[in-house]
């Protein structure tokens, strides 16, 4: 970016954590390493809490697999979350579940 004072415009995403930036005082949330229990690859997730890191990971996980069985409430995912800023870190295991909220849409059909 060329503007040193304000490297990001409003409504840009942070290049590090991916969050939407609403002010020039943006600070990235804490960094976590997260993986699905039955996989070996850790991924970096930026989140305020370990729980949020597990949830964000699961959201991306379902996007990647285009499955949405967790969001649909049909399955769950065991996720390991590691706070790599405090070694020696021990992973915390979470069970992540989801739910689909009903959504209704009204369209005008006829004005009587």
Alpha carbon of 4 to those of 9, 16, 17, 80: distances in Å?
12, 17, 19, 38
48 forms part of the interface with Zn ion (CB under 5 A): no
Rounded to whole angstroms, the Cα distance separating 69 from 42 reads: 22
**Half-sphere exposure of residue 96: CA atoms within 13 angstroms, side-chain side:** 29
Quote the CA–CA distance of 76 and 7 in Å, as a whole number.
40
- Pick the stretch among 14-22, 52-60, 71-79, 85-93 that binds Zn ion (CB under 5 A): 14-22
Residue of the chain from 8, 14, 71, 92 that contacts Zn ion (CB under 5 A): 14
- Least Cβ distance, residue 28 to Zn ion (angstroms): 3
Tell me the two tokens of residue 107.
């369209």
Place of tokens 């390991």: 80
How far apart are alpha carbons 61 and 105 in whole angstroms? Answer: 28
Task: Tell me which stretch binds Zn ion (CB under 5 A): 4-12, 20-28, 36-44, 94-102.
Answer: 20-28
Task: Kindly write out the interface string for residues 71-90 of this chain, putting x where it contacts Zn ion by CB under 5 A and - elsewhere.
Answer: --------------------
Tell me which stretch binds Zn ion (CB under 5 A): 8-16, 33-41, 55-63, 68-76.
Answer: 8-16
Q: How far is the CB of 67 from Zn ion (least distance, A)?
A: 28
Among 6, 16, 48, 49, interactor with Zn ion by CB under 5 A:
16
């Amino acid at each position: 970016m060329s503007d040193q004072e304000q490297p990001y415009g409003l409504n840009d995403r942070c290049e590090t954590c991916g969050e939407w930036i609403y002010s020039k005082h943006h600070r990235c949330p804490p960094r976590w390493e997260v993986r699905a229990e039955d996989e070996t690859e850790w991924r970096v997730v930026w989140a305020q809490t370990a729980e949020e890191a597990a949830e964000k990971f699961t959201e991306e996980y379902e996007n990647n697999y285009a499955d949405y069985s967790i969001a649909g409430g049909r399955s769950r995912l065991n996720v390991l979350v590691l706070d790599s800023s405090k070694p020696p870190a021990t992973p915390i295991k979470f069970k992540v579940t989801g739910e689909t909220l009903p959504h209704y849409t009204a369209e005008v059909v006829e004005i009587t």
